[in-house]
Amino acid sequence: MKQIFARFLSDYGMIFVLLLLCGFFSIVTISNQSPTGEAAAKQVAESITDQFGKTPRVLIAVGEQPGDADYAASLERSLTASGAQVLATAKGQPPAAREALVKLNAAGEKVDAVACTQVTGAWILFSDLKTDFPALGDPQVIAPRSYRWPNFLKSENLLNIANQIAVIAIIAIGMTMVIITGGIDLSVGSLLALSAVLTAGFIRDLAGGVDASAGGMLLASLAAIGLCGLIGAFTGAMITLFAIPPFIVTLAMMLVGSGLAYILAKGQSIYQIPDSFVWLGRDADLLSLPNAVVLMLILYALAHVLMSRMKLGRYLYAVGGNAEAARLSGVPVKRVLMFAYIASALLAGLGGVIMASQLKSGSATYGNMYELYVIAAVVVGGTSLSGGEGKMLGTLIGAFTIAVIQNGMNLTNVESYTQKVVLGLVILGAVLLDKLRHARK
């Protein structure tokens, strides 16, 4: 049992760091929260019926904040269903609510409660209703009760973290394979931008632009990913056939990919694509998870199987551990390296398609610094830069660790320059831990 825990700690120890970070940012972002929408309407309706019985007479007063109209409609449905009588619904600024109160007062209507939002409940208009509108009786102002909850743990924030890290995490799958073989790929950020530009350009010029069909958009996306794969094959060929260091080859291809993206886009953003193209990057069809996140999880499951259950995965580890020993053992080292760099380029191309879908456009500026974030996710996840060691699930944990750090610093209003310093120290710390771990072996 002790050995199993030690092995788990060695492979996935960063998960404890991730949990600690989540706990820390949960504590420091605790603040007063107000329920909104249907949840707020249900709470207010229950509060009114608890105080005034099943047949209260109610005035609803809401402002012009996003969601106020839906809140009012949901509240009216809940009150009516419970037997309450909704006398009027005032929407907008205080004059609208005053007008409703004046009419009810002139008609001699009795009002038990004024159902408000957090904002409208604080209006001075409602501070002394008994004196200002005596015919109404003694109406009570009822607004949603606030509660304390971490901003970090709000469902929309957690989904935002997952959706924002999806592209980096997907590209990190290919980077993990490359680094496990003892290499590096600095071109992924540029290939992402190139793929986004190619995808948007193909849709605009060949698939019908804003009138493009689903099939046309799919073919455009696949073509862009395929072209990125060809660049990855060229990179792999330069490394395997001419023994050029991966750092130099991928640095060159980073410049080539970025230059091609700017040339093809002519320095402009390409946005003539259909609204339906955002399906992959923004929509959520399964368990309210964004489709990009679902795709990310599927790809990680497949990559985990590849690396832990298939011969190709064992070959990747063998090449990274000792390429010459692997060659003498019959491992096709050059083909394995070609696979790693092609896979990395294809996944960078897929990342470009997803980003183009998220932003509904293609631009050569996309993917700036992404190669560093991707490498950071891989290294923080426990993959050794020396090669031969690493886990796909560790990379996923590393990607989420980077995302949580950035999101937490945004929520706590840490300036962007300081965030870069923190992220740099995190990467340095991860590499230092890796070196110390190897020194103990």
| pLDDT tens string 8-35 | 666 677 888 899 999 999 999 999 887 8
pLDDT for residue 44 is more than 70: yes
Q: What is the pLDDT of residue 243?
A: 93
**pLDDT by residue (tens digit) across 211-243?**
999 999 999 999 999 999 999 999 999 999 999
- The rounded percent of the chain whose pLDDT value lies above 90 is 76
Q: What mean pLDDT value characterizes the chain?
A: 92
**More confident position, 284 or 349:** 349
Average pLDDT of the segment spanning 80-95: 92
Average pLDDT of the segment spanning 116-144: 91
Q: What is the pLDDT of residue 346?
A: 98
- In three state form, how does the secondary structure of the chain look? CHHHHHHHHHHHCHHHHHHHHHHHHHHHCEEEECCCHHHHHHHHHHHHHHHHCCCCEEEEEECCCCCHHHHHHHHHHHHHHCCCEEEEEEECCHHHHHHHHHHHHHCCCCCCEEEECCCHHHCHHHCCHHHHCHHHCCCEEECCCCEEEECCCCHHHHHHHHHHHHHHHHHHHHHHHHHHCCCCCCCHHHHHHHHHHHHHHHHHHCCCHHHCCHHHHHHHHHHHHHHHHHHHHHHHHHHHHHCCCHHHHHHHHHHHHHHHHHHHHCCCCECCCCHHHHHCCCCEEECCEEHHHHHHHHHHHHHHHHHHHCHHHHHHHHHHHCHHHHHHCCCCHHHHHHHHHHHHHHHHHHHHHHHHHHHCCECCCCCCCHHHHHHHHHHHCCCCCCCCCCCHHHHHHHHHHHHHHHHHHHHCCCCHHHHHHHHHHHHHHHHHHHHHHHHHC
Residue 290 identity (one-letter amino acid): P
pLDDT for residue 193 is more than 70: yes
pLDDT for residue 302 is more than 70: yes
Q: What is the pTM of this model?
A: 0.87
Q: What is the pLDDT of residue 6?
A: 64
Average pLDDT of the segment spanning 108-116: 93
Q: What is the pLDDT of residue 422?
A: 87
